[in-house]
Chains A and B, each alone.
Chain A
């Protein structure tokens, strides 16, 4: 309170800028949750952020009334960060968006970690309250940084899922060690500075081990969770500097991010605990996958037959998945849809909430190819209409159409709502090979009587299919 009044008496303009900044963040988040206003909301938050940053640089004064210095360093860093950030964000492929978000999130976590390090070095005898904030900010920032980097590596395939036996126990022990060490450092039981760095090391290790066993299909949830962690770390910075905009921005993201994480879990019909304990990807996949291999043969269908089947269908539903994104086939897919529509076929898209690598991933991708919004059906609507569909075309999706989620209680994805493609007359699955999907589970659907396989890269297959269709 005192600091606040002090800040107010010396820096009314700075506080005003911070207030505007906070309001833009709230408005920005609000507008980001509606399709029509989303882009504008993002812009508004960006303007508020720019204002807050420049106000800090030029108006900030410390307790002695001195402004900031080292302007050359500050501006050099700002320019380097802006150029690198813009280039990375502009160049990244639509398919790689999720890992980009994860990487930027890691940068924010690392920033919070560095602030705590510098503050600790600068004030070796801080009050317990300040020290607590420094330590907590560092722990959360570090976990977020290390975790985000692992999530980034997993999404772009550099790091494979690895299940350490007894991993849960190890994580628990590390978590306990972090708590114990923090209590010792903050409680003033020791003046040993190496303990502080031990906390840093343990936090980094915890971040790595926390994300490592979680399967790729759950990565969006993890990124969203780490995102809210970084928000909280930023808020600790707000406490450290009595800075209202850091506080509102950080806490808003912390709480909104947590809710978003829960919403994403709900879309997959799972609890957050279930995701974090990490039974999805590695651990259980071995058993049922091995058993499912004795399923007999999948039958193949030729391009020509596919074209004929689709051309004489009344209703076709396309179900896109990560394979479509990888092959960058969204434009060709839109072309197929147009050719079919010209032939009087009614084409819709069935979008599973977690198709691709992130919720909403497919919507973004298809929107890029100018697919009309009305043609994209959410899962419930798609399932309602599935009975009247003649041909379902599955493009590189796998786990989201796996019937094991409904019938096989031993399957790691049991309980996840799926697109019930078997209610349609014919199911055509385009895949590059018979390999299981990202969750590492065999898909029984491929061996069902209604299903035919059309092997090949999604883009190539779609191109050929479009030219075949023109000849039908």
Chain B
């Protein structure tokens, strides 16, 4: 099992590098956010993790015609992922729209 893990590490070295760098980037990017923006920022981040939909699309697109279970679950997964992405971005935009309006005044 340890061997398998090492092989896994070796073949995923690039991905692991991305993970580590992204962790630091995520911390850096938002470390000085005013309290006013906490809610919209949370909502925007919520939309971004909707990127999980790409996995759902791949699963769905690779499912065999006869594999009803995968097709149905994949279909559901794509719907849920889309809800996360579209709903997330639209809700965030609606929150931020308020900030824009006030600036013009």
Contacts and interface: CB of A to CB of B under 8 A. Distances in A.
Interface in B62-105: 62-63, 65, 67, 69-71, 73-103, 105
Given A247-B22, A255-B26, A89 B52 contact: no
Contacts of A361: 39
Interface in A246-268: 246-257, 259-260, 263-264, 267
Nearest to A104: B87
B23 A249 contact: no
Contacts of B23: 251, 254-255
B89 A42 contact: yes
Contacts of A56: 54, 57-58
A468 B48 CA distance: 49
Interface stretch (A67-75, A279-287, A398-406): A67-75
Contact of A29 (B7, B44, B81, B89): B44
A466 B15 CA distance: 61
A33 B30 contact: yes
B52 A90 contact: no
B4 A251 contact: no
A196 to B, nearest CB: 14
B44 A28 contact: yes
Task: Count chain B CB atoms within 10 A of each CB in A39, A90, A220, A241 and give the residue with the most.
Answer: A39
B76 to A, nearest CB: 6
A121 B37 CA distance: 42
Contact of B46 (A69, A105, A119, A364): A105
Interface string A218-254: 0010011001101101110111111111111111111
Task: Count chain B CB atoms within 10 A of each CB in A53, A77, A100 and give the residue with the most.
Answer: A77
A98 interface: yes
Contacts of B12: 1, 129, 239, 242
Contact-residue bracket for chain B:
35 or more
B26 to A, nearest CB: 3
Contact of A88 (B39, B74, B87, B89): B87
A230 B46 CA distance: 8
Given A73-B75, A107-B81, A127-B8, A367 B40 contact: no
A129 B4 contact: yes
A446 interface: no
Contacts of B84: 85, 104-105, 107-108, 111
A428 B55 CA distance: 55
B44 A32 contact: yes
Nearest to B100: A39
A245 B54 contact: yes
Given A39-B99, A101-B42, A240-B55, A253 B37 contact: no
Interface in A334-362: 353, 358-361
B98 A73 contact: no
Nearest to A244: B18
A82 interface: yes
B42 A252 contact: no
A129 B4 CA distance: 7
B90 A252 contact: no
A85 B87 contact: yes
Given A29-B44, A77-B60, A129-B8, A52 B54 contact: yes
Given A33-B33, A114-B56, A121 B70 contact: yes
Task: Count chain B CB atoms within 10 A of each CB in A41, A85, A121 and give the residue with the most.
Answer: A85
Contacts of A97: 39, 43, 91, 94-95
A153 B16 CA distance: 37
A157 interface: no
A393 B39 CA distance: 25
A26 interface: yes
A317 interface: no
Contacts of B91: 89, 92, 97, 100-101, 104
Contacts of B89: 42, 45-46, 49
A118 B52 CA distance: 14
Given A57-B57, A364-B98, A264 B38 contact: yes
Interface stretch (A293-301, A370-378, A382-390): A370-378
A220 B22 CA distance: 24
B26 A100 contact: no
Closest 6 CB pairs of A and B: A81-B82, A68-B61, A255-B26, A129-B8, A85-B86, A77-B78
Interface of B: 1, 4-5, 7-8, 10-15, 18-19, 22-27, 29-63, 65, 67, 69-71, 73-103, 105
29 contacts: A1-B11, A21-B51, A29-B44, A39-B96, A39-B99, A42-B47, A81-B79, A82-B82, A85-B86, A85-B90, A89-B86, A97-B43, A101-B43, A107-B83, A114-B73, A114-B74, A118-B63, A118-B74, A220-B42, A234-B49, A239-B12, A241-B58, A242-B12, A247-B19, A255-B22, A256-B26, A359-B39, A373-B102, A373-B103
